[in-house]
Chain A
């Protein structure tokens, strides 16, 4: 954990607050994600984890606080700059969110349409699509429609789409939810191999203790909209605090 602290921060959230009417979801949440780090956020359903991630990518505007990605404040940023910065961030949605009217190939080509120039040594659209699909082991599914794929395959294609612009940060919103244990384990292994291959920093939102144990360098427990506890998997799972321990009971 200490070694992570010496690395450059790629994402910093400070005192983020967000309410929907009387429902105060985030009440001053902060985090720092370092280069090459896997940071896991755990919290109960409805604790504001997805809202927090959507604030990071600019889908939801926080009420107050600051969000800095690579030293750029995204809250004060113009739309064009934000769109460009978003190409630095891959996002794996909870339900995969594949475009169901497009083939797997078209799904992967979509982010490339406007941002090809962002990729260093761009080999061409076809080569990029092939490379991304190869890295998730689904090259055979290139011309299939999302509806023809299983849940696990859809998650892999979504991961390939998140990787296509070679982002430096990847956000995983409950990557193993709704998958059987074997497929969930395959996705976790895939996440590890992607981090090694692409040298990405990852922010992972999960309920899955196995996923957190395997993948996390550091964890934050989000309870009632604030950072309740922070540390490594071992530190938190051995905590004496009953609320912290409750997250690790299977």
Chain B
């Protein structure tokens, strides 16, 4: 009885939170198109999020390309299909692995950062101070951050994909003696618009999810330092789960669209 009532309560809380988050997202779209616009803060956030994630994305992308090529090589060699390596790697990275891995990395770096920053502002009454001074804190803190991640993540993913392909080319050059020109010619031959476009579109949704969950968790943070920790932690957990759900939907929709 107690187990079932506890499950019921948790389900209620879960669905109530989804409802709150949907309302929060609705408020974002309402405030997005209403004046005054916080352009300076938006640019500052774009710079912070893009610039501060560059190193992490470059390192992650490079290692991703190296490891993926090293792991795939023996299997393809076994079947005598080494020449397929550039096209297989590029399709896998651009269509799926690149966007998902870079988005997960950014969920950890950007999402938790947003959750902790806004959460600590809530706890220390900085958000109240902003409201009392006649500034709309939702517009200043939430709208700018969600928009900044939505705009920056696709750029970070494109960069991460490119670096991953460079990493892969280096391994192919060292292990298989494939020249860089040949490698990249094969990569660009393999990639079609139908591979790049849907993969890029879904990164906007990934960015939106990271921004939305991070700001929601921070803005509705419970009192105290424990609340800030929880906001930061749950921002990453929820976002990671949401990214996979969005990815599944994106792949499903793309598949339907291209089989029509």
Contact = CB atoms under 8 A, between A and B. Distances in A.
Contact of A59 (B36, B124, B128, B134): B128
A84 interface: yes
Given A91-B129, A93-B129, A114-B36, A100 B135 contact: no
Which of B121, B125, B128, B135 neighbours the largest number of chain A CB atoms within 10 Å of its CB? B125
Contacts, number: 55
B133 A111 contact: yes
Interface of A: 54, 57-59, 79, 83-84, 86-87, 89, 91, 93-95, 97-101, 110-111, 113-115, 161, 165
A114 B129 contact: no
The interface size bin for chain B is: 10 to 19
A113 B124 contact: no
Contacts of B124: 95, 97, 100
A83 B133 CA distance: 8
Nearest to B40: A113
Contacts of B185: none
Given A95-B124, A97-B124, A113 B135 contact: yes
Contact of B135 (A95, A111, A161): A111
A99 B117 CA distance: 11
Majority-rule SS of A interface residues: loop
A100 B117 CA distance: 10
A103 to B, nearest CB: 14
B134 A114 contact: yes
B133 A97 contact: no
Contacts of B125: 93-95, 97
B53 interface: no
Nearest to B123: A95
Contacts of B36: 114
Contact of A84 (B121, B132, B134): B134
A88 to B, nearest CB: 10
Contact of A83 (B117, B128, B136): B136
A110 B133 CA distance: 8
Nearest to B133: A111
Contacts of B130: 99, 110
B96 interface: no
Contact of B132 (A79, A91, A95): A91
A91 B132 CA distance: 7
